[in-house]
Every structure is written in structure tokens, then in C-alpha cells.
Amino acid sequence: EAGVTQSPTHLIKTRGQQATLRCSPISGHTSVYWYQQALGLGLQFLLWYDEGEERNRGNFPPRFSGRQFPNYSSELNVNALELEDSALYLCASSLLVTLRGDNEQFFGPGTRLTVL
């Protein structure tokens, strides 16, 4: 069974540009999560999508946005890139569970975004 896949592996942009990152979840998973991992730091929650809708977002500015497609794949868009946006962007997927507490998230390899 294929795991979570992300593309591209690496992305280099200049300040002010826009970046689009893509994620395909594990087959059967409906929830997709995006996290930012700056160098040497832990993971910070960005966005959660399920069934095509944004369910929750972390403490990030509106220039971080995304969407989820009918096949449950997802895009993360970052507008007006700033130098501090340079980080590893990780996507995770899980089943949407109605019983709270049963939420195993499986991660992709990440997209390393470098803003020059």
C-alpha cells in the first residue's frame, strides 16, 4: 500500500513569489493535514482538510491557504513568500474518526521550500 506522497521534493523561490505544494493521502484516508517544520524545530500545525473542507487552521497568516480535491489530494499555497517561510512542509493523512482519540496520522517525506 502506497504511503503519503508529496511533490515536489524541493522547491526554490524568491521573496514575494507564490509556492504550491501537493500531497496525496493514503488510499482510504479522507483527512489531510499540513505542518511546517522550520530547521531544527518541531512541527507546527498549519491546516486540516477533510471531505474537501477546511476544518481547522493553525496560527499562520492568511497567505497560507490550501484546498482538498474530490480525490482527497490536497494543495498548500503560500503567497507573498517571505524568507522565514523556508522550511520543510509535511503533509499527513488519517481517517476521519468520530470517536475522539483515535487519530493516527501518517506523514509524507515533505517538501523542502527555500525562499531566497
Task: Provide the minimum distance between the beta carbon of 94 and other proteins in the complex, in angstroms, as a whole number.
Answer: 7
Q: 26 or 78, CB closer to other proteins?
A: 26
> How far apart, in whole angstroms, are the C-alpha atoms of residue 62 and residue 56?
13
**Binding to other proteins, residues 51-110 (CB under 8 A):** 55-56, 58-59, 90, 92, 94, 96, 100-110
Q: If we measure between CA atoms, which residue out of 104, 32, 35, 98 comes closest to residue 69? A: 32
**Binding to other proteins, residues 2-61 (CB under 8 A):** 4, 31, 33, 35, 41-45, 48, 50, 55-56, 58-59
Structure-block grid coordinates of residue 91: 503533509
Q: If we measure between CA atoms, which residue out of 47, 37, 46, 45 comes closest to residue 109? A: 37
Cβ-based neighbours of 116, under 8 Å, separated by 6 or more:
12, 13, 14, 15, 83
How many residues sit close enough to other proteins to count as binding (CB under 8 A)?
Answer: 30
- Residues pairing with 76 in the sheet: 21, 66
Task: Provide the minimum distance between the beta carbon of 16 and other proteins in the complex, in angstroms, as a whole number.
Answer: 28
Q: At 68, which amino acid appears?
A: Q
Q: 18 or 103, CB closer to other proteins?
A: 103
Task: Provide the minimum distance between the beta carbon of 27 and other proteins in the complex, in angstroms, as a whole number.
Answer: 17
> How far apart, in whole angstroms, are the C-alpha atoms of residue 24 and residue 115?
24
Site of interaction with other proteins (CB under 8 A): 4, 31, 33, 35, 41-45, 48, 50, 55-56, 58-59, 90, 92, 94, 96, 100-110
